[in-house]
Amino acid sequence: MEDFDPQQKLRSDLKDFSSYSAHTSPDFMKKKFGLNIEEIIKLDANENPYGCSGQVVNSIKDGGSFSVYPDAAQSELRSELSLYTSMPSDCIACGAGSDQLIDLIIRLTINPGDEIIILPPTFGMYAFYAKLSRASIIEVGRDEKFCFNCDDVLNRITPRTRIIFLANPNNPTGNLVPKADIQALLDSGIIVVVDEAYFEFSRETVVPWVERYDNLIVLRTFSKWAGLAGLRVGYGIFPQYIAEYIMRIKDPYAINVCAQNAAIASLRDKDNLLQKVENIVYERERLFGRLCALEGLTPFPSKANYILCRLHDGRALRLTEQLKERGILVRYFNTPALKDYFRISVGRPEQNDIVVESIREILGEDTQW
C-alpha cells in the first residue's frame, strides 16, 4: 500500500490543533498511584465538592422513559429557567454544557476569517471553538492584577470583529469585570458574551440587561453550583432573535433525558444547593486567608469557587506533581499569560485544610526550591 497521508484527507489547519487540557481522570490516578476515587482530593476542575442534589437521583429514576428521545424544545427546562432567571423562556436556550453554546454562538456568527476578541488568561474553550470555526483570534492582555483596559479592547475592534468573550468572574483568575466596562463594550454594538458560569458564587449578573441590549448574551451552567458537571447542562439568555437561531441550529436532542430531568430537579431544590454554595463561598474566603499566610506563594482574590496562586520562584509544576503524588489534584498553568501558576478549586473544609498543610510541608521540605 502506498504511504497513507492523513493530511490529504483532513483539514490542514487542524494539523497542530491541541486538545483541551482536561482535568486528571480518576482512572489515571488509580493506575499511576493506586488511589481510588474516594481517596483523591480532586480540586482541579472547579467541580462541586458536595456533589449534586439528592433530588437528582430520584428524578432520573422516576423521570420517564430512556427509550424515547428527549424534548427537543426543552420546554419544561426552559420554563423552570424562566422562573429562576426572571427572563422569558423564549430568550433561553440550553446546551450540553455551556461549552456547546459557546460553539453554537461562534458557528452562528463567524464566517472564516472573522475575528473574536478574548482576554487571556481566560477560559480556553473560546479559542478552542474559534479555531475550529476558522475565526481569527485577537488577544488583548491583562495587567498584573488580571484587569483589562476597556479602551485596549475597543481599539482592537475592526469591521471583522464578531464577538467579544468575557468570563465574569474570569476563569482562572477569579476577578470580576466592572459593570461600566461591560456597558462600554456593549455600546460598541459587537456581540458581547458574558460567561457567568460562576454566577451563583459571585452573585454579580447582567442578565436583566439582555432586555435592553440586542448584542448581549449571558451564559450559565449547572456544572458548578448544581454539581452536574458530568451530566452536561448549560443555558444561555439571549436576545430573542438569537435564541430563536440557537434553537434552530442546535443538535435537536443535545440534552439527554437524564440531564434535563436532573437540571429541573436541581432548580426545584435550589434552596438546598444554594446553601452549599454559601458554604463554598465561606470556605473560599477561609482558604484564601490560609494561603495568604503561606510563604513563597501569592493567592489572588476570587469571586468564584477557585483560587489562582503564583509561586514566587516559579516551581508550580513541581508543586502540583508533588501534590498529585499525595492524591491531591490542582490545576497547573504554564501559558504565555500565566507562567507557573496553579489553581485550587475550593473543596470541603477538611479537604482545604489538607491542601494547605500539604503545600506548607512540600514548600518547607523541598530544599531545592
Ligand X SMILES: Cc1ncc(COP(=O)(O)O)c(C=O)c1O
Positions that interact with ligand X (CB under 6 A): 46, 97-99, 123, 167, 171, 195, 197, 221, 223, 229, 234
The smaller minimum CB distance to ligand X, of residues 26 and 64, is found at 26
Minimum CB separation from ligand X for residue 223, in Å? 3
d(CA 84, CA 194): 18
Residue 286 C-beta: closest distance to ligand X, Å: 22
Q: CB 272 → ligand X: shortest distance, Å?
A: 20
Question: Of 217 and 229, which CB lies nearer to ligand X in the complex structure?
Answer: 229
Nearer to ligand X, 150 or 166 (CB): 166
The residue (of 167 and 182) whose beta carbon lies closer to ligand X is: 167
Q: Looking at beta carbons only, is 341 or 363 nearer to ligand X?
A: 341
Choice between 174 and 322, CB closer to ligand X: 174
Backbone angles phi, psi at 161, to 5 degrees: -70, 130
CA 136, CA 210: separation in Å to the nearest integer? 26
Decide: helix, strand or coil at residue 176: coil
- Cβ closest to ligand X, residue 35 vs residue 210: 210
Query: CB 23 → ligand X: shortest distance, Å?
Result: 9
CA dihedral 229, 232, 237, 243 (to 10 degrees): 170
What is the C-alpha separation between 169 and 167, in angstroms, rounded? 6
Please report how close the Cβ of residue 360 comes to ligand X at its closest, in angstroms.
Answer: 28
Distance CA 166, CA 192 (A): 7
Shortest separation between residue 124's beta carbon and ligand X, angstroms: 9
User: What are the cell numbers at 153?
Assistant: 479592547
Question: Measured from the CB of residue 313, what is the shortest distance to ligand X in angstroms?
Answer: 28
Q: Is the CB of 119 or the CB of 265 nearer to ligand X?
A: 119
Partnered with residue 237 across adjacent β-strands are 92, 218
Q: How many CB atoms lie within 10 A of CB 34?
A: 9
Nearest residue (beta carbon) to ligand X: 97
Minimum gap (Å) between residue 97 Cβ and ligand X: 3
Closer residue to ligand X, CB minimum distance, 236 or 299: 236
SS3 336: coil
**239 residue type, one letter:** P
Q: Which three cell numbers stand for residue 299?
A: 493567592
d(CA 140, CA 155): 10
Supply the minimum distance, in Å, between the C-beta of residue 99 and ligand X. Answer: 3
**Cα dihedral across residues 320, 324, 329, 333: positive or negative:** positive
Q: What is the smallest separation between the CB atom of 237 and ligand X, expressed in angstroms?
A: 14
CB 355 within 8 A of CB 43: yes
Alpha helix (H) residue ranges in the chain = 26-33, 54-62, 75-85, 97-109, 125-132, 150-155, 179-186, 199-202, 240-249, 257-268, 270-292, 316-325, 349-365
Residue closer to ligand X by CB (options 87, 194) is: 194
Q: Is the CB of residue 188 less than 8 Å from the CB of residue 115?
A: no
Say how far apart CA 269 and CA 235 lie, in whole Å.
Answer: 18
